[in-house]
Structure 1
Amino acid sequence: MNTTLPQGPPSGAVVVGVALDGSPAALSFAAAEACRTHRPLHLVHVLRISGVEAYAGVVQGAWEAADQALAHALAQARDLVVGEVPVTAERLDGGWLVADLVDRASRGAMLVMEHRRIGPVRRVVTGSVVAGVASRCAVPVVSVPEGWRPGESQAVVTVGVQDAGEAEPLVRRALSEARARDVGVVVLHAWYLDEGYDSVVADRAFRAERKRKLTRELTPAIEAASADFPDVPVRLWVRHAIPTGALVDSGSSSELLVIGRRHHLLPLGSHLGPVARAVLQYGTCPVLLNPESPVEGAVPVDDTGHARRAAQPA
């Protein structure tokens, strides 16, 4: 295996970012996704060395440590896929972690990363690599919590929607993921009145009327998305709760949580919204951030999650 020269992922691959610890949770998810969708699996490790470290003569040691970690992860990945799909790997030395991962993801169909459990002070200082990548990536990004293991949750895909305008593409993505897993979909909309009004205004009658109103608004988008997925059971859950808490809670009973990248009131192309950031930080199940729109050069997929063949000229 040559992990020194950048090679790039095969077209339509499931790309997984691998850290020095091997990112076992992300690797397990990515291997299962590659086998499920019959896509190649490609491992990427981005080496980051500061100028001070380079002058200290640690470059060679860093290369060796990175190659050892990547070789170990590659062996694990091949064990996980048991020959069902090809597995490749590469080491990138540019040091631009977010930019390099976004570039490699754009050549594949999905990027899988592991989300580290770190303290809030360090989070403020270092930021989140997953959030940085997800806010720029043209393909779906899946954040897998550190320590997650497959098979620990109930068989359902949950999708969080904020308003009817954004619901259809998100529900469609969730239905596609659910069909590939042979599970059902829960469409979750959570609402809560801010500034202290909730405890004053949201009595039983108000909550009942709000639920009826939101159900009327969201049902057409859900039905439109479900038209191509008659075999996938789907239900709408309108919940009176703080949205972030409701989405995080759903992780304990979800195989996958699908959310939008930005808040619905932010302009297109914005970085992650506050709800998405909070769910990434505290979520207990894999979280898929759906891109806002397809980008030229990204590999299109059909509703089953497989690569779509280009139309042949007449």
Structure 2
Amino acid sequence: MTRTVTVGLDGSPESRAAAEWAAREAELLELPLKLVHVWEPVPAPMAQAPLLGPETHQHWTERIPREAAEGVRLRHPGLDVTTEQLSGRPADVLVSVANDAELLVLGSRALGGIGGFMVGSVGLSVVAHAERPVVLVRAAQQVADEHETDPVDVPSAATPFRPVVLGLDIERPDDYLIAFAFAAAARRGTSLRVVHGWNPPYYYDTYGVATDLGLREELARQESTALTEVLRPWREKFPAVEIIEQSHYGTPGNHLVDASREACLVVVGRRARRSPLGTHIGSVTHAVLHHSTAPVAVVPHG
């Protein structure tokens, strides 16, 4: 069965932005696009109210994916677009949908004034439990945000893409996560900026590292060399992708958020866990989800 790029729709500006981003990604991947609308059944007592009756409910649930599909087909005439309506708890349904997709795309509200995402409980639950990559897109995300622009130029899809940013833990590098980021950069014909944040091992005196410039420089060289070694085989697999290595002292999440300001996509990992309880996302990924100014792809891995 052919996988699809799938979007979770709820009629909000966030989900419409997600649908538009997903349409562009589907074109890059040469895959169909599926627009999925999930609604929770109205409790029986409420369903008897005139404004919440079955006919009204059906009208609105059908209208959301239909209108979204019409808009996407108009802007992307060569794209295969389908719609699907499902009922149930949105988080549970979307996790199931994600597992059958190449990737799932969801909208996420931008935080006013300071950028970043406001990730709701549904989005966090899907990210935490989906077995396939999930991408979160801001409501204000536009084509121009993904491309390099000159102050005097008019942004367009014809200009080069900004870099793809990958957050990488070199102590536990995962091939699937790295391959996802390299493939995303290759499709866009852009560079891959690999960001690694490090802190001194616990047996070093933190105060000493902070004040001893020679010691910090030596640790920085070691971390930079280790990052280069992790990426060495990937340079051979993706010779056309320019790799920009960035090994920084300090909290990885902060460095990734900074890098997101000049990125078309930020790729982070999430260690897969089988427990149905809790939101197992990790502190770095959690920080990036809430504060990145670029779309964020969360890739589950072993």
Q: Sort the TM-score into its range (normalised by shorter chain).
A: 0.7 to 0.9
Q: TM-score normalized by structure 1?
A: 0.78
Length, aligned pairs only: 271
The match for 1:47 among 36, 39, 58 is 39
Q: CA deviation at 1:209?
A: 1.6
- Equivalent residue number for residue 3 of structure 2: 12
CA contact (8 A) 2:177 2:301 kept: no
Give the 3 Å change call, closer, same or farther, for CA 165–148 of structure 1 in structure 2: same
Q: Secondary structure of 1:115's partner? A: strand
Counterpart in the other structure of 1:164: 171
Relative distance call for 1:108 and 1:168 in structure 2 (3 A) is closer
What is the 5 A alignment of 1:223-242?
Answer: 223-242=232-251
Residue 200 of structure 1 deviates from its aligned partner by 5.4
Where do 1:284-303 residues align within 5 Å?
A: 284-293=293-302
SS at match of 2:241: coil
| Runs of 4+ with >4 A deviation | 192-195, 197-200, 267-270
How far 1:59 moved relative to its partner?
Answer: 4.1
Q: Distance in 2 between matches of 1:91 and 1:114?
A: 17
Q: How many angstroms apart in 1 are the aligned matches of 2:42 and 2:169?
A: 41
Offset of residue 268 of structure 1: 4.4
Aligned residue for 1:181? 188
| Residue 3 of structure 1: aligned partner | none
Contact 1:164 1:218 in 2 (8 A): no
The TM-score with structure 2 as length reference comes to 0.81
SS at match of 1:220: helix
Corresponding residue for residue 27 of structure 2: 35
Question: CA, structure 1 residues 53+199, in 2 after alignment: closer, same or farther (shift >3 Å)?
Answer: farther
Q: Which residue of 2 aligns with 1:92?
A: 86
In 1, the alpha carbon distance for the partners of 2:105 and 2:138 equals: 11
Deviation at 1:13, TM superposition (A): 0.6
Residue 142 in structure 1 maps to residue 135 in structure 2:
yes
Offset, 1:215: 1.7
- SS of the equivalent of 2:137 reads strand
- Once residues 265 and 252 of structure 2 are traced to their aligned partners in structure 1, the CA distance between those partners, rounded to angstroms, is 17
What's the CA shift string for 1:188-226, capped at 9, x where partnerless?
A: 01234699x756532332331221111222222211223
Letter in 2 for 1:48: E
Structure 1 209/287 Cα, relative in aligned 2: closer, same or farther at 3 Å?
same
Q: 8 Å contact 1:45–1:92 — kept in the other structure?
A: yes
Shift of 1:145: 1.8
